[in-house]
Amino acid sequence: MAPITKRTRHFLDFEVPVVVNGKEGLAILDQIKTIDRSRLIKKLGQLTNKEMVMIRKKIEIVFD
């Protein structure tokens, strides 16, 4: 799980612009957490394939 901020300008190497439920934001990939699936209450939205590809590439930068 990665937190998403409302800020959309001036993003860093480890942040990816995303749109969730029609709202723009940045996925902050240097703050990734793992959580148990049972803690998830409801699905808020889904990222596009393009956003997921960008996230995978940026995660490689964070963990390199």
5-45 per-position pLDDT tens digit = 888 777 788 899 999 989 999 999 989 999 999 998 988 88
pTM over 0.85: no
- DSSP track, 22-64: TEEEEEEGGG-----GGG---------HHHHHHHHHHHHHHT-
Instruction: Kindly state the average pLDDT of the residues 48-62.
Output: 91
Helix (H) / strand (E) containing 16: strand 15-20
CA atoms within 13 A of residue 53's CA, in its CB half-sphere: 3
